[in-house]
């Protein structure tokens, strides 16, 4: 069942989204090449969430042991933080969810460690971010759910990349995962009709190689099957009368 939100409830979600955006920005600014570990990112996330008087959406959710998901290079999503040191040239996906007054916000970014990356990695990150924006553009009343995924897939494949098929975005609100599933691929003008008040976590996961993935032995970390690079960007978005409203921004000017 899809749960539509009132304008007042969307503003509560924006409060949670603001915390997510601030945390992700501060984490990205404090990654030190050759020194910061993926566990350090988790510790930073915990401290920042407490600083902003919020709770973690991820910790202990379905048994996940940490506050943040950290995915490095060929890791797609759900990487468990540990002792791995982040090196110049790595690209690292940081996925974070928080709860404020019972409402969830969820977003992800991929950053180049040390501000340096191969041309291939830069292209992948740029294409993935553009895919997210292309998908968000379609999140407006009267469109179909598949219009989001079609826009994402079309842009990724136009640039020689592939979108992960086995993992999707989702509805979000009082629960971290709500209906509907939001695929990052598909045919246009199919699926449910989008309506004002729907709130979606749109999150393209884009690979430089094949879209096929597999899960490692820890039961969580998802990697590209061909071990090619992967990038992940995500925003929580409300569908408003005049179009999409991104709730996981540090300032409204960023929209």
Exposure of 45 in the CB half-sphere (CA atoms within 13 A): 28
Helical spans, DSSP H, in 138-180 = 145-158
Contact present, 103 and 238 (Cβ < 8 Å) = no
- Does 248 reside within a domain? no
Burial of 29 (0-12, 13-18, 19+ CB in 10 A): exposed
Per-residue model confidence (pLDDT) at position 86: 98
CA-to-CA separations, 215 to 43, 109, 203, in angstroms, rounded: 24, 21, 19
- Closest-CA residue to 14 (of 254, 203, 192, 182): 254
Task: With a cut of 50, say whether residue 19 has pLDDT above it.
Answer: yes
- Closest-CA residue to 128 (of 165, 153, 98, 96): 153
Per-residue model confidence (pLDDT) at position 76: 98
Per-residue model confidence (pLDDT) at position 53: 97
CA-to-CA separations, 86 to 23, 83, 110, in angstroms, rounded: 19, 9, 13
Domain containing 188 — which CATH number? Answer: 3.90.230.10
State what percent of residues in the chain have pLDDT above 70: 98
User: In the numeric block, which tokens belong to residue 219?
Assistant: 């039961």
Residue 252: pLDDT band with limits 50, 70, 90: low
Mean pLDDT along residues 11-32? 98
Mean pLDDT along residues 220-232? 98
Contact present, 230 and 129 (Cβ < 8 Å) = no
Average pLDDT, the chain: 97
Task: With a cut of 90, say whether residue 254 has pLDDT above it.
Answer: no
Report pTM: 0.96
- Does 81 reside within a domain? yes
CA-to-CA separations, 151 to 92, 131, 175, 197, in angstroms, rounded: 24, 7, 26, 21
- Does 185 reside within a domain? yes
- Cα 16 → chain centroid: 15
What range defines the domain where residue 58 resides? Answer: 7-241
- Does 255 reside within a domain? no
Per-residue model confidence (pLDDT) at position 50: 97
- Does 86 reside within a domain? yes
Per-residue model confidence (pLDDT) at position 250: 87
* 174-193 tens-digit pLDDT: 999 999 999 999 999 999 99
Per-residue model confidence (pLDDT) at position 173: 98
Task: With a cut of 90, say whether residue 242 has pLDDT above it.
Answer: yes
Per-residue model confidence (pLDDT) at position 166: 97
- Does 196 reside within a domain? yes
Domain count for the chain: 1
- Does 2 reside within a domain? no
Residue with the two structure tokens 């997510």: 20
Per-residue model confidence (pLDDT) at position 251: 66
* 86-145 tens-digit pLDDT: 999 999 999 999 999 999 999 999 999 999 999 999 999 999 999 999 999 999 999 999
User: In the numeric block, which tokens belong to residue 255?
Assistant: 């929209």
Task: With a cut of 90, say whether residue 14 has pLDDT above it.
Answer: yes
- Does 1 reside within a domain? no
């Amino acid at each position: 069942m899809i749960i539509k939100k009132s304008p007042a409830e969307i503003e509560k979600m924006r409060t949670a989204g603001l915390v997510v955006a601030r945390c992700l920005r501060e984490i990205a600014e404090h990654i030190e090449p050759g020194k910061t570990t993926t566990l350090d990112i988790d510790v930073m996330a915990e401290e920042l969430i407490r600083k902003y008087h919020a709770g973690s959406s991820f910790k202990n959710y379905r048994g996940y042991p940490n506050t943040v998901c950290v995915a490095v290079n060929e890791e797609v999503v759900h990487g468990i933080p540990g002792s791995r040191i982040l090196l110049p040239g790595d690209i690292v996906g940081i996925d974070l969810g928080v709860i404020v007054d019972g409402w969830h916000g969820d977003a992800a970014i991929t950053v180049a460690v040390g501000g340096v990356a191969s041309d291939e990695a830069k292209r992948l990150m740029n294409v993935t971010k553009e895919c997210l924006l292309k998908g968000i553009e379609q999140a407006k009343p009267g469109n179909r759910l598949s219009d989001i995924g079609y826009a994402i897939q079309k842009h990724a494949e136009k640039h020689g990349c592939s979108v992960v098929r086995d993992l999707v975005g989702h509805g979000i609100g009082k629960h971290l995962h709500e209906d509907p599933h939001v695929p990052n691929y598909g045919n246009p003008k199919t699926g449910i009709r989008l309506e004002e008040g729907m709130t979606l976590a749109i999150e393209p996961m884009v690979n430089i190689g094949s879209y096929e993935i597999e899960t490692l032995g820890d039961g969580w970390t998802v990697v590209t099957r061909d071990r090619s690079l992967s990038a992940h960007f995500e925003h929580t978005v409300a569908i408003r009368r005049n179009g999409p409203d991104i709730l996981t921004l540090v300032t409204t000017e960023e929209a």
